[in-house]
A and B are shown apart, each in its own frame.
Chain A
Amino acid sequence: MNKPVENNILEVRDLEVKFFSDEGTVNAANGVNFKVPAGKSIGIVGESGCGKTVTAYSVLQLLPSTGKITNGTIKYQANDGNVIDLTNLKSESRAMRRIRGGEISMIFQEPMTSFSPVHTICNQISEAIMLHQHLSKQKARLRAIEMLELVGIPNAKRRVDEYPFQFSGGMRQRAMIAMALACNPKILIADEPTTALDVTTQAQVLKLIQGIQDELNLSMILITHDLGVIAQMVDHVYIMYLGKVVESGSVYDIFDRAKHPYTRDLIQSIPKLHGARGERVTSIAGTVPSTYKLPKGCAFHARCSDMFGNICRTETPLPIEVGSDHYVSCFLHSREEGKNNARDAR
């Protein structure tokens, strides 16, 4: 965290997002910290409802009108070299819209509903190109075809004029990637890009994203609940629980040297290919608590198998560096408490 900011294209600090409704206030993000080094990819992992998508939407200021960023900064190093705090920009301002789709773009989870059903693929892709690159309609169309070819749509010249309902799910997600990359963004946010696809298509799409990321030197934020996807795709992993990053580290740190009980449980719950016959898939006990009323102390304490004392219930653990750029927020590892309790990681 004390490393220079310069090589980070995006740095999110203490991000807090709340949703206000008649039923109460939902604490969707409660101090999220992460950074995206230029040209690298990071992964954000967590169960449903832990605030992954909200965090992504916050970066682009796409939150619905009931959602507000109540604290924190999102520092973005823009194309002109200036560092902008995106939380200072109004959601519908010209500056924000220029970044949205032009410099930071996003792929969504549902390829079936993410396109307008009554506009052609060409129309929807070239729209962004005309908007951000100020190309003519014809040139934007050529660029759209080029992008479709890049993502491996066969017969792109003809298919560009088709409607989304004429594309299969995998092809739609490819078209979505083409659309997101059409304006040469610097950061790509992929929000569960393969969750809605079948496993073979999933592999193809992931391979495609990875290839393009290398080729275009993109920075990427990959959001998923699937640790398997994370392992092949990213350099650095952030594990989120209840609107907070509980552990972060390199892929190797997370998979080989996981420190947080939640991370370990997550890895445990991946079904094993060579497991014993009849062995059951381990699951994490309990469910994610309600975000209306956050639990006191460590958010995970009620489900934690390693909870060791009152401190877990009453105080909030802070991130501690346990290895090079490997942070964990858990009292098991806090230097004083950890030693006092003499219960090191297994």
Chain B
Amino acid sequence: MLRFIIERLLTMIPILIVISIISFAIIQLPPGDYLTTYIIQLEASGDSVSQSEIEGLKQRYGLGQPMHVQYFKWISGVVVGDFGYSFEWNQPVNTLIWERLGLTLVVSISSLLLTWIVAFPIGVYSAVRQHSPGDYIATFVGFLGLSIPNFMLALILMYGGYRLFGMSIGGLFSPEFVDASWSWAKFVNMLSHLWIPMVVVGTAGTAGMIRIMRNNLLDELGKQYVVTARAKGLSTVKLIFKYPLRLALIPFVSTVGWLLPQLISGSAVVSVVLNLPTAGPLLLRALLGQDMYLAGSFTFLLATLTVIGTFISDLLLAAVDPRITYD
């Protein structure tokens, strides 16, 4: 087992190197660079830029250099934890990312917990009482939640919140707290805003999770070992928790690792609509504006999380399913 862990960790290194090259290359793929975008923006707003100014900026950002030179400049920084500099924000990528990453995790993890807390019991109920009215209602609501786009739900909630309660729902903080330093009052203020993104982000996830849970469990409930366990005289509740539910969680565990990158990027559109200070909108803007170090670092971070997530999934899978051995 230990051997397996070490081997897996070692193979991650070449994977991450390849990923970093690919993500850097992809960001460079569109014609032009940040400077082109910048100049177009300046010209669009009526300013003109002289050739010497452009050359000066090019020098400053090192944009004239060949791609591999730029890559090595960036990656050697990444290794020691320096992700470079954002052109657009005029700030180191580090300061930009970590602050927003924290808030992103707050939003994502709380909606993930909401999803699980709601979806698991409903999914189990739906499977155990298949074709009951409760199951049909859960199925209906589930499909409704799956088919309504998240941003749509966000818009509806914003409109409803404004019309009914006269409250502004965008953002994670009330205006007076946005730039304030952290305090108890700011934390409480955040909690009062948090439920909207929680509900919006959680709805689709909940709907999907109910379906997955229901189907996984239905598969297991029909199996012979359930009859064997009943024939032993176990009570229904005890039986379902010990046997089919345990087995129904196995396919679920194998996909748990993919949640990690989703925690960061999954709610991007909703965050834009709801104007949340999370990582999603930042990534979107960086990609649009060809803010290459910021965008590159983000992509690299997401890829790293995917690799780590898959690794965690594998370990969890070995823990819950004795049929899997890593020797």
Chain A residues with a Cβ under 8 A of chain B: 60, 62, 92, 97-102, 105-106, 108, 110, 113-120, 127-128, 131-132, 163, 165, 176, 179
Q: Which residue of A62, A119, A131 is within 8 Å of B227 (Cβ)?
A: A62
A117-B247, A165-B323 known; A97-B235 Cβ under 8 A = yes
Min CB distance A78 to B, Å, is 14
Instruction: Contact check, A102 vs B233: say whether CB atoms are below 8 A apart.
Output: yes
Q: Which residue of A106, A116, A128, A165 is within 8 Å of B243 (Cβ)?
A: A116
Q: Which of B311-327 contact A (CB under 8 A)?
A: 320-323
Instruction: Contact check, B322 vs A163: say whether CB atoms are below 8 A apart.
Output: yes
Q: Which residue of B230, B231, B320 is within 8 Å of A118 (Cβ)?
A: B320
Instruction: Contact check, A113 vs B233: say whether CB atoms are below 8 A apart.
Output: no
Min CB distance A302 to B, Å, is 33
Q: Which residue of A92, A110, A118, A176 is within 8 Å of B247 (Cβ)?
A: A118
Min CB distance A165 to B, Å, is 6
A-B contact list, 22 entries, CB within 8 Å: A62-B227, A98-B233, A99-B233, A100-B231, A100-B233, A101-B231, A106-B231, A108-B227, A108-B228, A110-B224, A114-B224, A115-B228, A116-B225, A116-B243, A118-B247, A118-B321, A118-B323, A119-B242, A119-B243, A127-B232, A131-B233, A165-B323
Which B-chain residue is minimally distant from A112 (CB atoms)?
A: B224
Instruction: Contact check, A62 vs B234: say whether CB atoms are below 8 A apart.
Output: no
Instruction: Contact check, B246 vs A118: say whether CB atoms are below 8 A apart.
Output: yes
User: Max chain A CB contacts within 10 Å: which of B223, B224, B227, B228?
Assistant: B228
- Asked if B236 is an interface residue, CB under 8 A from chain A, the answer is yes
Bound state CA distance, A165 and B250, in angstroms?
A: 17
Q: Which of B196-245 contact A (CB under 8 A)?
A: 223-225, 227-236, 242-243
Min CB distance B316 to A, Å, is 13
The residues of B that contact A100 with a CB separation of less than 8 Å are 230-233
The residues of B that contact A128 with a CB separation of less than 8 Å are 232-233
Chain B residues with a Cβ under 8 A of chain A: 223-225, 227-236, 242-243, 246-247, 250, 320-323
Min CB distance A179 to B, Å, is 8
Bound state CA distance, A176 and B233, in angstroms?
A: 15
Q: Which residue of B232, B242, B246, B320 is within 8 Å of A101 (Cβ)?
A: B232
The residues of A that contact B230 with a CB separation of less than 8 Å are 62, 100
A116-B247, A118-B322 known; A92-B236 Cβ under 8 A = yes
Which B-chain residue is minimally distant from A103 (CB atoms)?
A: B233
**Chain A to chain B: the 4 pairs with minimum beta-carbon distance, closest first:** A101-B233, A101-B232, A113-B224, A100-B233
The residues of B that contact A97 with a CB separation of less than 8 Å are 233-235
Q: Which residue of A62, A113, A117 is within 8 Å of B323 (Cβ)?
A: A117
Which B-chain residue is minimally distant from A180 (CB atoms)?
A: B231
Bound state CA distance, A60 and B234, in angstroms?
A: 13
Instruction: Contact check, B232 vs A131: say whether CB atoms are below 8 A apart.
Output: yes
Bound state CA distance, A272 and B229, in angstroms?
A: 40
Which B-chain residue is minimally distant from A165 (CB atoms)?
A: B323
A62-B227, A118-B320, A118-B322 known; A127-B234 Cβ under 8 A = yes
Which A-chain residue is minimally distant from B221 (CB atoms)?
A: A64
Bound state CA distance, A101 and B228, in angstroms?
A: 9
Instruction: Contact check, B233 vs A132: say whether CB atoms are below 8 A apart.
Output: yes
A163-B322, A163-B323 known; A115-B225 Cβ under 8 A = yes
The residues of B that contact A119 with a CB separation of less than 8 Å are 242-243
Which A-chain residue is minimally distant from B246 (CB atoms)?
A: A118
Instruction: Contact check, A62 vs B231: say whether CB atoms are below 8 A apart.
Output: yes
Q: A62-B231, A127-B232 are in contact. List 11 more A-B contacts (CB 8 A).
A: A62-B230, A97-B235, A113-B224, A114-B225, A116-B243, A117-B247, A117-B323, A118-B320, A131-B234, A163-B322, A179-B232
Bound state CA distance, A131 and B223, in angstroms?
A: 22
Bound state CA distance, A118 and B229, in angstroms?
A: 13
The residues of B that contact A106 with a CB separation of less than 8 Å are 231
The residues of A that contact B228 with a CB separation of less than 8 Å are 108, 114-115, 176
Bound state CA distance, A100 and B230, in angstroms?
A: 8
Bound state CA distance, A9 and B227, in angstroms?
A: 24
Bound state CA distance, A119 and B234, in angstroms?
A: 15
Min CB distance A103 to B, Å, is 9
Bound state CA distance, A243 and B242, in angstroms?
A: 35
Instruction: Contact check, A113 vs B223: say whether CB atoms are below 8 A apart.
Output: yes
Min CB distance B227 to A, Å, is 6
Min CB distance A152 to B, Å, is 21
Which B-chain residue is minimally distant from A113 (CB atoms)?
A: B224
The residues of A that contact B321 with a CB separation of less than 8 Å are 118
Min CB distance B320 to A, Å, is 7
Bound state CA distance, A163 and B324, in angstroms?
A: 12
Bound state CA distance, A106 and B242, in angstroms?
A: 20
Min CB distance A292 to B, Å, is 21
Bound state CA distance, A132 and B232, in angstroms?
A: 9
The residues of B that contact A117 with a CB separation of less than 8 Å are 225, 247, 322-323
